[in-house]
């Protein structure tokens, strides 16, 4: 695949989690999260993006979100459960994206805030537009999806290289 081919990075924040007496990593989805995750999956399917790779945080709530969302997609992408995505900083998320193989055109990250919002905001840079204003108005609530496009190699992903082309939140 040529580095001139546009790539997409899609960011999905996990669905609403419950707060039982377990470690943060082991928190399951709440009832609303179990309803919102398939809706997020339908939104991903409607986007028409055929993901080559999904990187999902190892936390229970992200794995449950992905399990419910992926059933809505026409085909399941290769999925890697990535321990480094749990509690990842913006720099750590960008470093993970930089490791993406060049044969991947469209990448999906299923993760947590504040990382997902920071990633969308940083990659979009100083851009303006409807999607960015919707994201800035709503924050990046659970089950939100941001779609960013960029040209270049995965190794070149850094602040300001992408365009935020879509933002969706289930209750916005």
Which CA distances in Å does 96 have to 9, 69, 133, 161? 12, 22, 27, 16
Return the pLDDT at 66.
98
Global pTM exceeds 0.85: yes
Return the pLDDT at 171.
85
The region that residue 145 occupies, defined by phi over 0 for left and psi between -120 and 50 for alpha, beta otherwise, is beta
Q: What is the pLDDT of residues 78-90, one digit of tens each?
A: 999 999 999 999 9
How far apart CA 64 and CA 34 sit, in angstroms, is 8
Q: Does the pLDDT at position 128 exceed 80?
A: no
How far apart CA 62 and CA 133 sit, in angstroms, is 26
Q: What is the pLDDT of residues 13-57, one digit of tens each?
A: 999 999 999 999 999 999 999 999 999 999 999 999 999 999 999
Q: Does the pLDDT at position 4 exceed 60?
A: yes
Q: What is the pLDDT of residues 51-86, one digit of tens each?
A: 999 999 999 999 999 999 999 999 999 999 999 999
Provide the residue ranges of all domains of the chain, joining segments of one domain with +: 7-123+132-168
Q: What radius of gyration do the chain's Cα atoms show?
A: 15
Q: Give the CATH class of 7-123+132-168.
A: alpha beta
Q: What is the pLDDT of residues 129-144, one digit of tens each?
A: 888 888 988 889 999 9
């Amino acid at each position: 695949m040529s580095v001139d081919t546009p790539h997409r990075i899609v960011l999905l924040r996990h669905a609403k989690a419950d707060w039982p007496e377990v470690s943060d990593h082991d928190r399951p989805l709440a009832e609303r999260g179990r309803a919102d995750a398939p809706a997020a999956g339908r939104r991903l399917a409607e986007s028409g993006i055929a993901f080559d790779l999904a990187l999902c945080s190892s936390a229970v709530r992200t794995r449950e979100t992905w399990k419910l969302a992926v059933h809505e997609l026409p085909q399941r992408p290769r999925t890697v459960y990535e321990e480094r995505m749990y509690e990842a900083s913006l720099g750590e998320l960008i470093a993970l994206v930089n490791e993406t193989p060049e044969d991947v055109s469209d990448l999906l990250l299923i993760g947590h805030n504040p990382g997902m919002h920071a990633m969308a905001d940083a990659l979009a840079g100083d851009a303006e537009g409807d999607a960015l204003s919707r994201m800035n108005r709503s924050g990046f609530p659970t089950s939100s999806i941001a779609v960013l496009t960029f040209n270049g190699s995965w190794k070149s992903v850094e602040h300001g290289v992408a365009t935020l082309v879509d933002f969706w939140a289930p209750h916005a």
